[in-house]
Structure formats: C-alpha cells, structure tokens
A and B are shown apart, each in its own frame.
Chain A
C-alpha cells in the first residue's frame, strides 16, 4: 500500500520517466537511424511533458488579464471590484513590468493598481522554456534527418550495423 502511495504522489514524474526510458531504449538499441531519431523525439517529448506538468496549478487559468481587469482603477465596474478583493500578494505575472520600469527611472503612465493573485494563474515560465525546447527539438530533428539522407546517399542504407560492416571491409 505504501508503494502505491509513493507512485501516486508523483504520478506525472513516473509517466515522464517511463516515456523518457522508451525514447532512450529506442536511441540505444535500434540500428535504424530513423528509429533512433524517433526515439530522440520521444525523449524530448517526455521532458516537455514533465515541465508542462509541473507548471500546472489546481484551479488556475491561463495567465492573461482581461482588459477590464487591467483598467480596474479607472472605471469601477463589477469586474474591477473583484480585482481588489483584499490585500493579496502582488507577485502576479503582470506586476513585474511596473516595478521594473520604475527602477530604471522611467515615468509610468499606468499606476500599478491591478492586484493579481499568483495562485489564480498557471505559471507561464515553464511554457516559455518548453517553447524553446520544442523549437530546438525541431531544429535537431531536421538536421538529424538531413544527415540521415546524406548517409543514405553515400552508403545506400540507414542501418547502422550494415554501415559499420561496409566501413570495416573498406566498402
């Protein structure tokens, strides 16, 4: 029973480790180079899944402020009052801009009157990191496929063991 609790407490970790190991297995054992590249993609997808899963918060929504939330201080409608519900912590996503510009000594036109509760929004940073990872993954996959095509043009095969035999026997 304790064993299942250990697994279910960090369920996303286990899923990502299993997918990652499937990718690693394909990269190590398959001799076909395209299958190796597929294994590499599975490996990268596992890491993306892991990062996105740790950015999830229970009951949180996408980190976007609606227009009436941003201008809540100027015209007090129903949504504007909602934004001011008590002395919540203000380390929300949209608040950094105002502080930062004040530090550099620029005049700020909008007063920092919007109060954001960080628990209401999913963490965008992991998605940004994974956007980078996806783009780099596409680039490496493209270059890998191009190299595979080049190898096929040179050797007539993409099986790694056949290429090894060809190199050993001097073609």
Chain B
C-alpha cells in the first residue's frame, strides 16, 4: 500500500526522488574522481594480493544468490504487499556491496563495472519517465497510468496496477546502481581500485 501511494498519486514526488539519488551518485563520482593521470597513478602503487578467507567466501557464495532472489521478490511485490522499488533496490545493491566486502572491489566491479552502473541508473529513470510519457502521449496527464490499458492487454485498473510494477522496477534499477556506486566510490576514495 505504501508503494501504491508512492507510485500512483505521489508519482511526481517519487520520480524526482529517483532523480535526486541519481544526481547524488553523479555528484559523488564527480567530487571524488581524479582526472589527471598523475593523481591516478599515485593511488595505484600499493596493490596487494588479498587471499579470500575460506569461510567468508563460502558463506557469501551461498548468501548472495538468496539475497538477490529476495530483493527481486521485494521489488515484484511492492504494489500490493510490503516492499517496493526502493527497498528491493537497496537489498540488491547490498548484495553487490557484500561481494566487494567479502572478496575485493575488483571482484564486484567485474559484475557491475562503472559504465554499467551509470547505464543502469539512467535506464531506471528512463523507464519511470517512459511510463509517464506513454500515458501523456495517449492523451492523459503525465504519470496517469490508467490510460495505458489502450496498449496493454488489461483493464484500466489492471493497467494502473501493472504500471506501478513497471515504475517500481525502474526505481529499483536506479537505487541498485547508485547504492553500489556510492559505496564503491567512498570506499576506494574515488579510484575504484581497491576497497576497504
């Protein structure tokens, strides 16, 4: 219900909230990133081999798929039970942070390199805005999802219901990406080379 209020009649609020965290992610990257090559070299000197601990590594191997599955459950059930895009996105982002903590930042960056993070964050907002614009082009107000039943095989109420799910998926994309981006940039002092 909370997510239903969030995605439906506070739709603008939620959309620009997503834009806020997107902007925060971009701001953190631009504040911390060193652009001159001399600065970047100074951070890369102390590369050390960290052997992953057997117990930590095995536990995280078991835990991370379950965490990600649970995150997807939370995202998918947001509009009619407790959960939602923000909550599920944070759980999903936490699973990548767990990879980075249990092994090292490079291992996590193999799954979510920075380019992919930024693409995901942008795609999330575009999904949200796309639902709004689609309902606008079909002749209703921005983010008035009920009109989407014209292009969906569903009744107006069901179209609203499914659009909320779509919007939540967009939110989850952005939140996942930006949560990991905030962690990886802060933990590596903007170099993305080695974490904590």
A contact residues vs B (CB 8 Å cutoff): 62-64, 93-94, 96-98, 101, 104, 106-110, 121, 124-125, 127-128, 131-132, 134-136, 138-140, 142-143, 145-147, 149-150, 153
Name the one of B4, B13, B31 contacting A132, with C-beta atoms under 8 angstroms: B13
Say whether, besides A101-B156, A146-B28, A127 and B20 are in contact (CB < 8 Å): no
In the complex, the answer to whether B32 meets A101 with C-beta atoms within 8 Å is no
Say whether, besides A104-B140, A131-B2, A149 and B32 are in contact (CB < 8 Å): yes
Q: How far is the CA of A159 from the CA of B84 in the complex (A)?
A: 40
Residue pairs across A and B with CB atoms within 8 Å: the count is 96
Name the one of B1, B14, B140, B158 contacting A124, with C-beta atoms under 8 angstroms: B1
| CB-CB nearest in chain B for A107 | B156
Query: Would you list which residues of chain B between 2 and 22 have a CB under 8 Å from chain A?
Result: 2, 4-6, 8-10, 13-14, 17, 20-21
23 contacts between A and B (CB under 8 A): A93-B5, A101-B156, A101-B160, A104-B144, A104-B146, A108-B156, A109-B155, A109-B157, A109-B158, A124-B1, A131-B6, A131-B84, A134-B86, A142-B24, A142-B25, A142-B186, A143-B27, A143-B28, A146-B185, A146-B190, A149-B32, A149-B186, A150-B31
CB distance from B16 to the nearest CB of A (A): 9
Q: How far is the CA of A64 from the CA of B79 in the complex (A)?
A: 10
| CB-CB nearest in chain A for B155 | A109
In the complex, the answer to whether B81 meets A101 with C-beta atoms within 8 Å is no
Residues of B contacting A125 in the complex (Cβ-Cβ under 8 angstroms): 5
In the complex, the answer to whether B185 meets A135 with C-beta atoms within 8 Å is no
In the complex, the answer to whether A142 meets B146 with C-beta atoms within 8 Å is no
Residues of B contacting A93 in the complex (Cβ-Cβ under 8 angstroms): 1, 5
CB distance from A141 to the nearest CB of B (A): 9
Is B189 an interface residue when CB atoms closer than 8 A count as contact?
A: yes
The interface centre, meaning the residue of B6, B84, B179 with most chain A CB atoms within 10 A of its CB, is B6
In the complex, the answer to whether B20 meets A135 with C-beta atoms within 8 Å is yes
Name the one of B2, B21, B27, B84 contacting A146, with C-beta atoms under 8 angstroms: B27
